[in-house]
Amino acid sequence: MKDYEVYSSLKVPKNSKIIVRLDGRSFHQLARDLNLIKPYDENFYRVFSQVCNDLFNEFSASFVYAFSDEISLLLDKIPFDGRIEKINSVIASFASSSFVMNYDVQFKKPPAFDSRIIPVNDEDILNYFKWRQDESWRNCVNSHGISYLKSKYSNSQANDKINGMNLSDIHELLFENGINLNDLETYKKRGIAVYRKYKKVTGFNKKKNKNQTSYRSHVYVDWEIPKFSEKFFKEIKVIK
């Protein structure tokens, strides 16, 4: 019967790092059920940051990035011998459980995440996270735009209007009406990230009778991330 498990031998490419991207299933509905504040619910983000932290620690990720209902984990060390089925299912279910454990609410339905795997090299890492961060900004502009339009027009009129607008039109409309997106909290514009922060420490090594430099690190949940750049990823030692 083992022969019937036709996907069980699918593995990620050898010697490749991977990004696992999770996305909340029907979180539009979940947001309604939980009455989340629109467009950004700080408590939801706080829970999401705890999920990111749990994922970071459990799977020894080197970087975790989240916005809206999606989370991307960069893994240098590939778990489960690279088995795709195992990685996707365990990480997605771990995230769902963490989400429920960290959220002090009564859910109407069990929350779930989908999961996909993207093999990456060092150059892809920067491009990938820039791409997702651009999406975070698009999401920020659009969700504020639709919230504003819905406060002025019916839902269907608001949807029609936003469909005919590009990002700068929406930005402009909001600005003219006293909403400056640039003044928003950073996490709403750029998302949140979890990574290791390194500190250089110099101490006296008695055995060697000389000063020695080493690095100490701790896990850091960053709500004030910069725009992603090569410099940023090098500083936090995610790329060389």
Ligand X SMILES: Nc1nc2c(ncn2[C@@H]2O[C@H](COP(=O)(O)OP(=O)(O)OP(=O)(O)O)[C@@H](O)[C@H]2O)c(=O)[nH]1
What track of x and - describes contact with ligand X for positions 141 through 170 (by CB under 6 A)?
------------------------------
Q: Across-strand partners of 194?
A: 64, 221
Nearer to Mg ion, 24 or 111 (CB): 24
Please check whether residue 237 is in contact with residue 220, taking contact to mean a CB–CB distance below 8 angstroms. Answer: no
Residue 88 C-beta: closest distance to ligand X, Å: 15
Q: Does 38 bind ligand X (CB under 6 A)?
A: yes
Beta strand 63-67 pairing with 192-205? antiparallel
Work out which of 12, 17, 21, 27 binds Mg ion, going by CB under 5 A.
27
Nearer to ligand X, 62 or 68 (CB): 68
Candidates 22-30, 166-174, 221-229, 231-239: pick the segment binding ligand X (CB under 6 A): 22-30
Phi and psi at residue 44, in whole multiples of 5°? -60, -45
Beta strand 17-24 pairing with 70-75? antiparallel
Nearer to ligand X, 44 or 233 (CB): 44
| DSSP conformational letter for 11 | B
Helical (H) or strand (E) element with 6: none
Orientation angle between helical segments 167-176 and 122-152, nearest 10 degrees:
50
Q: Does 43 bind ligand X (CB under 6 A)?
A: no
Candidates 17-25, 174-182, 209-217, 226-234: pick the segment binding ligand X (CB under 6 A): 17-25
Nearer to ligand X, 41 or 85 (CB): 41
Please check whether residue 101 is in contact with residue 53, taking contact to mean a CB–CB distance below 8 angstroms. Answer: no
Cα separation, 10 vs 85, whole angstroms: 7
Return the one option of ligand X, Mg ion, none that residue 8 interacts with (CB less than 5 to 8 A, by type). Answer: none
What track of x and - describes contact with Mg ion for positions 44 through 73 (by CB under 5 A)?
-------------------------x----
Work out which of 21, 40, 64, 73 binds ligand X, going by CB under 6 A.
40
Angle of CA points 5, 7, 9, to nearest 5°? 95
Residue 205 C-beta: closest distance to ligand X, Å: 49
Cα separation, 152 vs 155, whole angstroms: 9
C-alpha dist (Å) from residue 47 to 54, 99, 168: 11, 7, 31
> Interface residues with Mg ion (CB under 5 A)?
23-24, 27, 69
> Interface residues with ligand X (CB under 6 A)?
23-28, 31, 36-41, 44, 68-69
